[in-house]
Amino acid sequence: MMHDKFIIFMITLATAWAAPSSIPNSYNAPVQDQFLTTACKADDISPPLSNGTATLPAPPYGQKVLHLAVGRGTQNYTCDSSSSSTAPKAVGALAVLYNALCVAIDNPDLFNLLPDISLQFSTPGGVSGPVSPPSILNYQNLNVIGHHFFFNSTTPVFDLNTPNGMFGNAVMEKADSVNAPHNAPKGQGSNANGAVPWLLLNSTSASTGPVKTVYRTMTAGGEPPATCNGMPSSFTVEYAAHYWFLG
């Protein structure tokens, strides 16, 4: 099964991956269960707010973590011309959201590596078409908790309605951002232009469901080239990140 292949492959990578902290040799619970269950309680975890030099605002008092996901997809850009005098314009993103709450609780070191690990596998998708997860992640959609897209170039949406649970649509607006840490994974191969910023998003009146605040942290990749020189009119850059849903 692709599910089993992903779990085995990810553990192998995680135990060998170069990282500031090592991955534990033993786990508190079976890794497979950590990816598939939604039974873990998030009472004792909270999103990281500091990139080392700047800090995102804390969530409003009383809000707690409702869901925690690894998002894997593309940041989407357009270019008005293929000139070195113009810069790419961000026009949104497309991503699949994978439940990672139990991983974060039981294996935080592994959790922190997931954006970088998942970025090593290409995912097809485009500016206007649906994004598909990398084949290594596409194991029966058992742990998919939602999809991320943009209603327009400035309105991010998180559709948290799947066969695994109906949690509404979080229609958000940007409230704040900080640059990704200097040592964040920069991207894939020749597209290693840097990691997109960390974000704080607030809900709008168009939202349904309990989500009031979203943090994007631990970003990997996603930044475009500095200029449009030689670039097509529209293009994508693959990325991954943690998404924290609070309410």
Per-residue pLDDT reduced to its tens digit, 159-176: 999 988 899 999 999 999
The string over 233-247, giving b where at least 16 C-beta atoms fall within 10 Å of a residue's C-beta and e elsewhere, is: eebbbbbbbbbbbbb
By three-state DSSP, how is residue 170 classified?
strand
Q: Are 52 and 217 a contacting pair, CB within 8 Å?
A: no
pLDDT for the residue 33: 46
Whether pTM exceeds 0.75:
yes
194 strand-pairing partners: none
Segment 65-73 shows an average pLDDT of 95
Q: Tell me what the pLDDT averaged over the chain comes to.
A: 82
For residue 182, give both structure tokens: 């200097």
Q: Are 136 and 9 a contacting pair, CB within 8 Å?
A: yes
Q: Could you report the per-residue pLDDT of 84-136, keeping only the tens digit for each? A: 889 999 999 999 999 999 999 989 999 999 999 999 876 644 434 444 444 44
pLDDT for the residue 128: 42
Q: What are phi and psi of 35, to 5 degrees?
A: -85, -25
Alpha-carbon gap, residue 154 to 237, rounded angstroms: 18
